[in-house]
Amino acid sequence: MEQKTLRPQSFVGTVVKTAMKDTATVKVDRYVKNAKYKKYFVRSKKYLAHDPGNTVKVGDMVTIVATRPISKMKRFAIDPTKTVSAESEK
């Protein structure tokens, strides 16, 4: 049997909340097209992501990567190598 190399699911989003311990809420936007009217619009969804040490701040652009279930709602972890802080963008 061949070994397949699967990349885990990943999204780029903005941190909107960091009030919980070792957790950040990340809002991910998608650009989708309406099938009937052919109009494009933005759909967004919030994910809880594991952030050990609470390293990210609100407004940071982060990449979240799928991982094993960490808690009831957390299925993603923040990739520390692909984090852009809000201060450096200004």
**CA nearest neighbour of 54 among 18, 27, 7:** 18
Q: What is the predicted pLDDT for the residue at 88? A: 72
Where do the domains of the chain lie, and which CATH numbers do they carry?
10-89 (2.40.50.140)
Chain center to CA of 33:
22
| pLDDT tens across the length of the chain (90 residues) | 667 768 889 999 999 999 999 999 999 999 999 999 999 999 999 999 999 999 999 999 999 999 999 999 999 999 988 878 877 766
CB 84, CB 61: distance < 8 Å: yes
Distance CA 34, CA 11 (A): 22
pTM, rounded to two decimals? 0.84
- Non-local CB neighbours of 41 within 8 Å, separated by 6+ positions: 31, 32, 34
